[in-house]
Structure 1
Amino acid sequence: MSNSAGDYTVDHAKENLEVLRAVPEQVVEAIENAADESVLNFLIREQKLDIHHEGDQGIGPLRQAVLRSPHASQELKRTVITRGDDTPSTILVPDDVERNARTSLRTGKPVVLYGPTGTGKTTFAKQLALRHCVGFSLHTATPSWTAKDIIGGIGPKLTGSTDVRSLGYETELGAVSEGVKCARDFDIPYAVILDEITRADISQIFGPLYTAIENRKQTLIETDDGETIELDEDVSIICTMNMSDRTVNELDNAITRRFAMVELDEYEGEDRRALFEGWIDDNLGDIPLISNDELLELFEADYNGINNGSEQASRGPIMRFGPMHYRDVTIFLCEALRDESLYMDAPGEAVGQAFRTFIVPRLLNSAAFPQIEQIEEHYRALNKSFETFDLSPATELASRELQAEQRQMGSYQQ
């Protein structure tokens, strides 16, 4: 390719399309020498040569060339950096939650989305990132996380041939410093999502980050080639936190003072029913084997019994539990009721198996002994109330867990 910088036009791209499809390096050169954005739009939006050469995901040399191009719009950069991302476009969280989160990000504050399981925190974090920034990275915390996973540090590196290897050391960037580098290298606003941070020791992993939040001129880390990494204003930090693990009052004051705390909790009755109705209609609308109206009422009775207490069971609320879990139930039923080898001949049992698979284990996962008793009682009562559905699989799972707990406590009687 003989074109000099700025001379490569759409006509050149059309003439050389067969070569461009065969040789990825030629596409990189075409992007670097593009006369204007129309060339990039032809190569990326129309011909999708980045997918052709680099697949559905990842940022290889071709996509890096787009991200570095002075002709690429922010929308085009978002297109290549989010290839393969399946984040839904429809935001399901309440309007005030969305407004509070977006406003907090605009103030420059890191945001923590907190609430019970099943309220859509991770999905909303990705949606928020895509509305506020061009791209994002997602990192899920583990108990072994340290400050190095957030900021970076020195790590080992093997050098040399396979016969003669020597151990050296190099600087490794952490989640936030990598995000800063990406925003800086590609001149884009970028988000770093730290998911389920209560799995880690928050005070330990965020210690150095607290200082950088207070003073954005503070160097987080220096790369091996001497580049200093500071907490750039183009980098947004979005965290999620499951409040079944920890309450806000138990958190270190350092995080609540430096982060905007946005709660995802109760969905109002009409909003919640709209979610349930939408999932049932989308996944089960053309399957006549069960009554969608009855299934909706089961969802409502189950959700209210868990969160608020129910008429069927004699006790009060069990725990805070979000509505997003019921989407998995409808997807399970969609598959189960279309196949004769699965549950086409037993639609009522399919509902019980869906609850056994997607609802009850998530309740039991964070339940103390008194709550396990309530869960077992709750599903036993629901099974009697909804005769169309066979909820015994869900009830039996809760009963086995209750018996196991009773054995440990020495109180189980056969």
Structure 2
Amino acid sequence: MDHAELDALLTRDAMRLIDELDPVETTSDVARTVSRLRAAGHGPDLVSAVVGQVRLRQRARAKFGEFADRMLFTRAGLEQATRMAVSAHHAGRFIDAGVTRVADLGCGIGGDSLAFASLGLGVLAVDADEVTAALAAYNLAPFRDGGRVDVRHGRAEETGLEGIDAIWLDPARRTSGHTETRRLSADDYSPSLTWAFDLARRLPTGMKLGPAHDRDALPADAETQWISVDGSTVELVVWTGALARDGVRRAALVLRDGSARELTASADTEDEPVRALGAYLHEPEGAVIRARLVGDVARELDAGPVSERIAYLTGDAARTSVFASTFRVRETLSTDPKRLARELRARDIGTLEIKKRGVDVDPAALRRRLKLSGSESATLILTRIGDKRTAILADRVTS
């Protein structure tokens, strides 16, 4: 989004049109809506801004729920934004630590600040990009009149922190076009991780990083918490100072279907020995795998890994866990696509969930080759057991 589009967006006409337009979901919807608005005499900048926001709000509901209907977005800002359910957990940690005012450095469109302010925290929200800071100011407007939130355009490194109790920080590099966000090496972060970790040693800090961030580059004296939401591992947070919990260095927070469960430990936990394939196969949540707490889940399930360095667990105990998905094993099948297709047809399987770990297989390409048809459903798990590629036919177990 450029300044011309922003100026067009922050008008009464634009806001009215955004609220009045029907959903814009397909390319045909976009063309039809653009043509109608242009025919009504609206300028190209306003039309582009309005149609873009309607589409972004539709996507944003997955992260922000009903809040999305009064927010403004850039595509990059929405991609980078934390889900509201996760932000609420972060806000709770600040409150539990006795924090009253937090600086959100690199606030983006203001999603985290929105959660912080909603739960009563005072917030200083700062972003280095002028357009993004303007959108954050709009999104946080309900809390600005009372003085709870102060939004500024500026660099994190140059922000005065007088009266600030704790920091929320999301170091990243955003492209100048505001269209994409990508995680890079430590030297490419903005602000730099050297500066960020130095600040985190001086003030209690929560620092959001990508879940695949190099573990060796994380501070040994901090709490590192990986977070999964509805089966997707979404982020890693490094907590320091009063925001880090005593005795906790590894944590896996799992949010699913509106509930939250957490696994914590003082360090990486020891894995269980490899086991032969049993009656059940378990897939730990991504946050558990990233936090290296798979051993604790294995012991809860009376299970062990199917192979070295493979995060599928197996055992004969009929147990489930909130930290893993469980499948009842039917049988093992051939991994050759032609034979596998014949075996699935013989079992009348037309609906197939395909999962893989430890093997180089494209599930979408395999599905096309299988040409499934039938009335039954199942899960196919492709993995490596020892040196052998294995296809496991199974049924998902609901707890």
TM beyond 0.5: no
Q: TM-score with structure 2 length normalisation?
A: 0.32
Q: TM-score with structure 1 length normalisation?
A: 0.31
| Structure showing the higher strand proportion among its residues | 2
Q: Based on CA coordinates, which of the two structures has the bigger radius of gyration?
A: 1
| Structure showing the higher helix proportion among its residues | 1
